[in-house]
Chains A and B, each alone.
Chain A
Amino acid sequence: MSKRRPYVRPMDGWFKRDPFFIEYMAHEGTAVFVWLFALEMLAGLFALAAGEAAWGGFTAFLASVPGLLLNGLILVMLLYHGVSWFLIMPRTLPPVRVGGRKVPGSTISAVGLAAMLVASFAVVGFFCLLANGGQG
């Protein structure tokens, strides 16, 4: 047993030292809200399987003040997840080459964000058409 007590640099709150680290922890933290939304959808599926009363309880929660507040937070965090996902993409993707030339990171992010915008409007548009067209 050694009696030496070497200095160990304290790491508590390490990410507060640099705005870059704070952003890192923020975008990693969005995973908690992705998890919550997955859990919410799973609860919805079980409510739908259980019957009309259970489903009514589920939609009543969605429309309640706590439900709207929680889902508002989830919505903001998922937007942040999407934006940060594509902003980091130049660093998480292996170098992309088109025509022998390296695609700049800003282009990769821009294409990703554009895809997010198009896909999001497509999803909202699809479900609005489905709901308003009366076609099951």
Chain B
Amino acid sequence: MSDQLKRSNEPVFWLLFGAGGMLAALIGAALVFVLVFAVPLGLMPEAALSYGAARAFAQHWLAKAFLFVVVSLFFWHAVHRIFHSLHDIGVHAGRGARVLVYGSALAGTVAAAFALALIGG
């Protein structure tokens, strides 16, 4: 190794993994329940998922921020964990796979921002 220690980018990805994992652990199941099962179970009126209600919700800046954080962090958490599990099942992925995997999370992040921008305010 050279006299200068090589810097690793791992802490950045680990932090995103940890933040996404914590968020998913705290409220992930609750979000699935609200989006998919609250209306069929009668906890919410059907109108709650109507186009008008959903759009009005997603146009609020706070909801936008929340949706962006949830979607992007869930992507970062998932790809990091899946990537490291590949090694455990005998797929020893290299640098190319790393770029592809984290690139997909980046694409998901950009796409979420793009969709939220399209929805407008």
Contact = CB atoms under 8 A, between A and B. Distances in A.
Q: Is the interface of B mostly helix, strand, loop or mixed?
A: helix
With most chain A CB atoms within 10 A of its CB, the pick from B34, B48, B53, B57 is: B34
A120 B71 CA distance: 17
A56 to B, nearest CB: 7
Given A35-B74, A79-B29, A123-B27, A42 B112 contact: yes
Contacts of B88: 15, 25, 28
B78 A38 contact: yes
A67 interface: yes
A68 interface: yes
A71 B32 CA distance: 7
B80 to A, nearest CB: 8
Given A35-B78, A131-B45, 5 more contacts: A32-B82, A49-B119, A51-B51, A75-B37, A123-B30
Interface in A14-69: 15, 25, 28-29, 31-32, 34-35, 37-39, 41-42, 44-46, 48-49, 51-52, 55-56, 59, 62-63, 67-68
Interface of B: 20-22, 24-40, 43-45, 47-49, 51, 53-58, 60, 67, 70-71, 74-75, 77-82, 84-85, 88, 90, 108, 111-112, 115-116, 118-119
B22 A48 contact: no
Interface residues of A, number: 52
B119 A45 contact: yes
B53 A35 contact: no
Interface of A: 11-12, 15, 25, 28-29, 31-32, 34-35, 37-39, 41-42, 44-46, 48-49, 51-52, 55-56, 59, 62-63, 67-68, 71, 74-75, 78-79, 81-82, 85-86, 112, 115-116, 119-121, 123-124, 127-128, 130-132, 136
Contacts of A112: 25
B82 A31 contact: yes
